[in-house]
């Protein structure tokens, strides 16, 4: 299907991109294109007005190249999902990104889709959000006047993934003490997008869970934390008995939102298996 006519802009620097973004009306950002192009096709099919301007970030080298900055992992917005998957930096707490990338759609999609597109497309069901919250990732933006802004991923998704600035990169602190596990359930056998996703991060000290973070994507609202479950886990013994009890302390406002019985059940299964994975891993490390 041919798209409606658009004006295509291809800046080569962040400065040029943000100036265009600030000066143009009716504009969309093109990263990998796996979300935007399908969206434009759908709008045309429905007979709805499509955007007049597209700004492609493909030629901006500043938005590419995963690197370490001291103890921080820097992931530029135009990082391809498969490039992140294959990065040698994914050890310690960063290793959970390897798991998430592997779960995103199909290999052809992973060779096009970008980290920036996944985080900022404003679809509620994308997978990176829950993991970035668990990792306490910081999201970096540049405004049209060159002003920089840093927002935690948790705050970004609390604000419904909105920003009037250009997303440039995300940074994550290395943390070898954090223990993480990720679970997702795809929507159907034939549609490989997540019905739900859960990322659990805990620290284990003196045989107890501490500083827990349970980040949840229920598919119908943006990724968020289950503070009620976190409060229960903190200072609880890291045992299978605690895991069973934890399922009685879920914030039902998160899990039951537009959920059927199957989805609610799979949330419980996912959280239980994530916690059991962490316990098993910790026990193996001390065996």
- Give me the pLDDT at residue 106, please: 81
The residue that leads in pLDDT, 145 or 237, is: 237
Q: Which one is the CATH code of 7-56: 1.10.260, 3.40.50, 1.10.10, 3.30.43?
A: 3.30.43
- Give me the pLDDT at residue 259, please: 74
CATH 3.30.465.10 fits 61-173, yes or no: yes
- Give the domain ranges of the chain: 7-56, 61-173, 179-285
Tokens of 29: 């950002």
Contacts of residue 19, defined as CB under 8 A and 6 or more positions apart, other chains included, come to 144
Question: Tens of pLDDT along 101-134?
Answer: 998 878 888 989 999 999 999 899 898 999 999 9
- Asked whether the predicted pLDDT for residue 67 surpasses 70, the reply is yes
Tokens 């992931």 correspond to what residue? 75
The residue that leads in pLDDT, 18 or 45, is: 18
The residue that leads in pLDDT, 257 or 95, is: 95
- Give me the pLDDT at residue 33, please: 81
- Contact, 235 vs 212, CB < 8 A? no
- Asked whether the predicted pLDDT for residue 50 surpasses 80, the reply is no
- Asked whether the predicted pLDDT for residue 246 surpasses 90, the reply is yes
Fold topology of 179-285: Enolase-like; domain 1 (3.30.390)
- Give me the pLDDT at residue 35, please: 73
Query: pTM score, two decimals?
Result: 0.93
CB atoms within 10 A of CB 259: 19
Tokens of 49: 């007005």
Q: What is the DSSP string of 131-190?
A: HHHHTT-EEEEE-TTS-EEEEEHHHHHHTTT--SSEEEEEEEE--TT-EEEEEEEESSSS
- β-pairing verdict for 148-152 and 138-142: antiparallel
- Asked whether the predicted pLDDT for residue 14 surpasses 90, the reply is yes
């Amino acid at each position: 299907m041919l798209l409606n006519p658009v004006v295509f802009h291809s800046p080569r620097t962040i400065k040029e991109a943000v100036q265009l973004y600030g000066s143009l009306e009716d504009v969309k950002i093109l990263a990998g294109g796996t979300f935007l192009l399908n969206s434009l096709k759908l709008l045309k099919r429905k007979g709805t007005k499509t955007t007049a301007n597209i700004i492609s970030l493909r030629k901006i080298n500043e938005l590419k190249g995963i690197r370490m900055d001291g103890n921080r992992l820097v992931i530029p917005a135009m990082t391809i999902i498969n490039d992140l998957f294959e990065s040698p930096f994914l050890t310690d707490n960063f290793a959970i990104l390897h798991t998430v990338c592997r779960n995103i759609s199909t290999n052809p999609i992973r060779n096009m889709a970008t980290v920036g597109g996944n985080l900022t497309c404003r679809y509620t069901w994308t997978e990176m959000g829950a993991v970035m919250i668990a990792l306490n990732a910081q999201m970096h933006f540049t405004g049209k006047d060159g002003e920089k802004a840093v927002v935690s991923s948790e705050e970004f998704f609390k604000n419904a993934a909105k920003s009037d600035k250009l997303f440039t990169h995300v940074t994550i602190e290395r943390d070898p003490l954090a223990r993480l596990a990720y679970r997702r359930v795809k929507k159907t056998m034939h549609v490989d997008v997540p019905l739900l996703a859960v990322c659990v991060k805990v620290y284990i000290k003196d045989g107890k869970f501490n500083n827990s973070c349970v980040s949840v994507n229920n598919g119908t609202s943006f990724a968020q934390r289950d503070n009620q479950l976190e409060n229960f886990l903190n200072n609880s013994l890291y045992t299978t008995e605690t895991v069973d009890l934890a399922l009685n302390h879920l914030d039902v406002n998160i899990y039951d939102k537009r959920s059927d019985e199957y989805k609610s059940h799979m949330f419980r299964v996912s959280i239980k298996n994530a916690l059991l994975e962490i316990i098993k891993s910790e026990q193996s490390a001390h065996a």
